[in-house]
Structure 1
Amino acid sequence: MTLPRPIINRSGRTKRALGVQTALEWAFRIEKAELELPPPKDVPEEGFGFGLEYVLLQRAALGCKVDGGQHKMGSYTHPDAEVVAATVAGLPDSLGGIRMAIRVAELARAGLTPDWMPGVVPRCVPVETKRNQHGERATTVVVGTERVLTRGKWRTVEVLACPVTWRPHPEQITSARRGYDDWWQALDWVRDGLVEGEMLRDVEVTGAMPKMQPWRR
């Protein structure tokens, strides 16, 4: 990741100007900052430590790695990166709380943006297909019978239909884009907190943000 050229603030101190997403990737991916997670609300804060069972339960529930541990061994993390991580850990419950904090940190560590399924359009397709010597064909099911007159005789014939579905389902696209919007709102909150907190020494967080609802053109 290439960092932008430095700027000089009013106090004369040289700082790096970073958008919030770049700042997050710098903190978690380059500086290897760790996310400090608060204890569960039903556990006393005094003497609390993240036990192995708790960490495994969180991993299973959230589907991702949970960062823990207050101190890093044998490595240095820039203080500004620690401030960024602490700000992320403070995401309010209204924006997803701990779950969103972990998502923001993991995406930043991987250098990724949430997949909002760009360019995907639902298509009506057969629920099931089968292939034979004549090629691939949609599977049909019997949905009823009808009496038809054929060559002067009444016959009972099966009425066939091809079950269809939407792939991907519109709800999948909606869910993916809702997830992107939730992530964007979290980044907006983190950016405001870093700017208003004025605790960063060598980094200047700018107003630059990822595109808001990039699927709307």
Structure 2
Amino acid sequence: MKHDRSLQSSAGRIGSSRPKRSMSVQQALEWAFRVEHAQLELPEPPEPERELGFGFGLEYVLLQRAILGCKVDGGQYKLGSYTHEDAEVIAATVAGIPDSLGGKRMAIRVAELARAGLTPDWMPGAVPRCVPVEVKRNQHGERATTIVVGTERVLSRGKWRTVEVLACPVTFSPHSHQIDAARRDYDAWWKALTWTKDGLIAGHMLREIELSQKLPAAAPWSRFCKTVVRR
């Protein structure tokens, strides 16, 4: 009887599954590309779809998952190092970002940011300011560069004299277009992360990682603007 109980206990331990690691999608991406060094593979679509510019959807990712599931040990070997199977699945999902969300270009962007452990710079606190185009510095300090924009006749000490009219060329820095572009870039990245998270969760494609619903802040500049207004 003792022998039987020992076998049952041992079998229970062998059959028990390890608890999954909980991560946000951004954490999972950084783990896959930065820690596991997963590679982003962007295969060419079939000829008819290549001409129409179609991207890869979750169907391709599920196919990749099925291929990976056939491996005995999971994961892949690259340059003598082992890449975790879940990391490969995450990379395959990123590679499948559809054209409507930026396609291959966005996939590369997402992977590069994850590999560097960065979030797109949405230029927090940036406000266009009017500044001189050029500033000269000498021992007396800084002085905005001026240019001659015309001449005028003026009466000075009983004589008419011709004097130059000077102006200081100015610009806006950062320009509102720069700020808008940075925030569009962040928003596009955020939507790509949302698609990646939803696809991985819906497809039940990860074996040792459980993705949470947590995402980076959506349009964080709107919250920043409200704080400034309240002050």
User: Which residue in 1 is equivalent to 2:138?
Assistant: 132
CA contact (8 A) 2:77 2:83 kept: no
Task: Describe the SS at the equivalent of 1:81.
Answer: helix
2:41 to 36, 55, 69: 36
Kindly indicate whether residue 22 of structure 2 is the aligned counterpart of residue 17 of structure 1. yes
5+ unaligned residues in a row in structure 2: which ranges? 1-15, 51-75, 224-231
The answer on 1:173 being equivalent to 2:179 is yes
Give, in angstroms, the shift of residue 136 of structure 1.
Answer: 1.4
Report the AA paired with residue 125 of structure 1. V
Q: What's the counterpart of residue 201 of structure 1? A: 207
Unaligned runs of 5+ in 1: 1-10, 46-69
Q: 2:109 corresponds to which residue?
A: 103
Q: How many residues align?
A: 183
Superposition TM-score, scaled by structure 1 size: 0.78
Hey, which of these two has a bigger chunk of helix by percent? 2
Question: How far did residue 120 of structure 1 move?
Answer: 2.1
Taking a change above 3 Å as real, the CA distance of residues 26 and 98 of structure 1, as seen in their structure-2 partners, is same
1:216 aligns with 2:216: no
> Which residue matches 1:141?
147
Question: CA deviation digits over 1:45-83, x for unaligned, max 9?
Answer: 9xxxxxxxxxxxxxxxxxxxxxxxx85131111111111
The code of the aligned residue for 2:171 comes to: T
Q: Does 1:80 align with 2:72?
A: no
Matched residues, percent identical? 72
1:190 to 193, 196, 213: 196
Residue 166 of structure 1 and its aligned partner are, at CA, apart by 1.0
Provide the residue aligned with 2:122 in structure 1: 116
Q: Which amino acid aligns with 1:82?
A: E
Pair 158,42 (structure 1): closer, same or farther in 2 beyond 3 Å: farther
AA at the equivalent of 2:27? T
Q: CA RMSD in A?
A: 2.2
How far did 1:195 drift? 0.6
Larger Cα Rg: Structure 1 or Structure 2? 2
Residue 104 of structure 1 aligns with an amino acid whose one-letter code is: V
| 1:154 counterpart SS class | strand
Runs of 4+ off more than 3 Å: 40-45
| 1:103 match: secondary structure | helix
TM-score normalized by structure 2?
Answer: 0.74
Deviation at 1:27, TM superposition (A): 0.9
Of the structure 1 ranges 17-26 and 147-156, higher mean CA displacement relative to structure 2 is found in 147-156
Cα offsets for 1:167-188 (capped at 9, x unmatched)? 1112111111111111001000
